[in-house]
Amino acid sequence: MKKLNLSKDQIQKLALSTIGFIVLLYVYFSFFLGPLNKSRNSMMVSINDLQAKVAGSKNEMTKATNLENQASAATTRYAALTKASPEGAPIAWFPPRMKIFFSNQQIDKTTARLEGSVPYKEAELSGWTRHNWMLDLPQTDFSTLGKAIAELENTEPLLSIHHLNIHALPEDPQFQQVTLNVATAILKR
């Protein structure tokens, strides 16, 4: 093989060409192709992300529509239950409501006293408060009371009687005095 005899001048030129080549590669990859690829990759990631979101959104909307159909009974029921809690402080409307209710059941002079209110432990009932009331029915007879309680339990679904005390009036045993401790679930307004 023929040995390549390069002069000093030629070696210098060769070294200069090599340096130029290296600089060219560096500039090309660092300032041209690199940023272009980086931008392309980030755009691809964004496209995939958005496409996944768009595909997911179709599912989400279908799910919401199905849920809307399935929940129609629950929403109607919920609307009916919330309707039982009028605007304003419960102390303002619950005692008069009870007074009118028992008056319609032929039991007069009913009084309702708020004993306390506590939040529910259940996370689902975070918007509701349990109010404990004492209802005092000073004079009634047993059958009227039974009918009134039946009506109360049927018309006030969010009310539960947790203590009941009936005792005959000493001066007139035909009539009884009744105390009811009730709890009501009332929507926070």
Partner 1 sequence: MALHLNLLHEEFQEQRQRQRDPLKIGMMVLGGLGALMFLYYMWNAYQTLGIRNRLNAVQSDWSKVEPKVTSAQKRSAELNSIIGTTKVLDGMIESRFYWAPFLEKLSRCVAMNAQVTSVDGTVLDDNRGVNVMIEGLAAGREPRAAAEELRQLLLEQLGQSYHDVKVEFKTLEDLDTLVKIGGANMAMARFSVSATFNPTATGKAAATTPRTPKK
Residue showing tokens 């629950």: 74
Q: Contact between 134 and partner 1 (CB under 8 A)?
A: no
From candidates 50, 92, 100, 118, binder to partner 1 by CB under 8 A: 50
From candidates 127, 155, 172, 188, binder to partner 1 by CB under 8 A: 127
**Sequence-ordered list of residues with C-beta below 8 angstroms from that of 81, at least 6 positions apart, any chain:** 157, 158, 187
Tell me whether residue 44 or residue 91 sits nearer to partner 1 (CB atom): 44
**Sequence-ordered list of residues with C-beta below 8 angstroms from that of 59, at least 6 positions apart, any chain:** none
Min separation Cβ 65 and partner 1, Å: 8
Tell me whether residue 82 or residue 95 sits nearer to partner 1 (CB atom): 82
Q: Contact between 78 and partner 1 (CB under 8 A)?
A: yes
From candidates 94, 101, 102, 128, binder to partner 1 by CB under 8 A: 128
CA atoms 161, 165, 171, 173: torsion sign: positive
Q: Copy the structure tokens of residue 173.
A: 């045993």
Q: Contact between 103 and partner 1 (CB under 8 A)?
A: no
> 52-71 mask for partner 1 (x: CB under 8 A)?
-xx--x--xx-xx--xx--x
Distance CA 86, CA 157 (A): 15
Strand locations in 66-122, DSSP E? 111-119
The SS3 assignment for 111 reads strand
CA dist 108 to 98, 136, 138, 151, 170, Å?
10, 10, 8, 16, 19
Binding site for partner 1 (CB under 8 A): 6, 10, 13-14, 16-18, 20-21, 24, 28, 32-33, 36-37, 39-40, 43-44, 46-47, 50-51, 53-54, 57, 60-61, 63-64, 67-68, 71, 74-75, 77-78, 81, 122, 124-125, 127-128, 142-143, 145-147, 149-150, 153, 157-158, 160-168, 173, 185
